[in-house]
A and B are shown apart, each in its own frame.
Chain A
């Protein structure tokens, strides 16, 4: 079966750095997405990786290793507004997105 694993919850301190990991086993791979979802709101797109390596976008970076079935989202200079759930999704061989359950990130002052 297809599976996306992420930690259920993480806690970090304002101003610090946090890394959210995602491992996947899917039928085919056509890209990996990270979305942010604030409580009670819709998911919003953060990043996309299809090749191995690091993609940097401001305070957020995303890394992919296809051979290891592994990605991480790195958030720097954490702000209170970064408190949200972070969703990892892989596009499979049918070009459908398979979603992880999400990682709830709690930021403490």
Chain B
């Protein structure tokens, strides 16, 4: 593994189903993030984690949950999917330190909720 991986690449899901999007990074970054990207809108932060064992809510957390059991993994769960959660989901990570603290993105998961 090099960088950040996400799975699945794409998924079609029936409304009401539970779904977990996976994200793994091998850069030993402390901070990780989940964004959604919708046409005509900027990336919106769903949840974040500054370090293993801690999580925080972003701009649009409702309907989503996360966990950070270790440094490498940061799964995003939709407990009961709704059509408005149709989007492209990006996971990102950063060192969590330093002035720049650049975020590096995974390839994304395209989710369609019907």
B-contacting residues of A (Cβ < 8 Å)? 4, 31, 33, 41-45, 48, 50, 87, 89, 91, 95-102
Contacts and interface: CB of A to CB of B under 8 A. Distances in A.
Nearest to B103: A97
Interface residues of B, number: 19
A98 B42 contact: yes
B40 interface: yes
Given A31-B99, A42-B108, A99 B43 contact: yes
Contacts of B104: 45
Contacts of A50: 99
B42 A102 contact: yes
A102 B106 CA distance: 18
B42 A87 contact: yes
Contacts of B102: 33, 45, 48
A95 B105 CA distance: 17
A60 B41 CA distance: 24
Nearest to A99: B42
Contacts of B101: 91, 95
Contacts of B100: 31, 48
A41 B107 contact: yes
4 closest cross-chain pairs (CB), A and B: A99-B42, A42-B105, A99-B43, A101-B42
